[in-house]
Structure 1
Amino acid sequence: MFTQGQIDEHRERLQQVVATVHHFSALIFILTFVGYGVAVYLWFQDQPWAGLIVATFSYLFFRQFRSLSVGLARMKLRGRPGFAETWNMLDEAMKSERPQAVILALETRLRAPRE
């Protein structure tokens, strides 16, 4: 997916991308479970349909959190110098793999000891 040369050349920017993706993933995860809490609250307030709708939207939001977190990271880091080439490299990898697989492979390669 990525060559060692690509990893070495873009290491600092890739580390920022992974950290930003994890930050947004955690935020989406928290928001999802807050939504589930609101759904349970609505359910016990004798508004089962409202609770069901909130729970459904929370679930759908959670199902998209990987691609959404990558998209939000892209928006945050878009204007920074040098990131255009890094995002092009990631986009090429995401054409053949899912975002979660690309980020996992990238994180694994970044944490591996340098030879």
Structure 2
Amino acid sequence: MQAVFEGTVIANADDADVVVVEGDRYFPPTSITEGVLQAGSTSDSPSGQGERQSYAIRVGEQDHEDLAWAHLHPSAEAVERAGVDFSGYVAFAPAVTVREGVVPQEGALP
């Protein structure tokens, strides 16, 4: 599975490693492309999932605010609903395209 914004791959993970929580697909921290996320503010999640860290996505020299987020310490209820601890996993706003299926090899065209 890939998360792509403006032609830049933001995250790349096997489908089985991506966690779905309340319709959002959360990518493991190790799948995030280095240097593309810039930490923003933190706030309480309106869905009761715990404190939420927002991120801007940096493409070239431009930051696109609030297009990604992670729950660094999800609530026990959120972890129970997900069936797995998704601490630090990153989800993306609808402006980011998520492609399901086989992840292309590094260097291959998407």
When Rg is computed on C-alpha atoms for both structures, the one with the higher figure is 1
Higher relative CO (Cα under 8 Å, sequence separation at least 6) belongs to 1
Scaled by the length of structure 2, the TM-score of the pair is 0.24
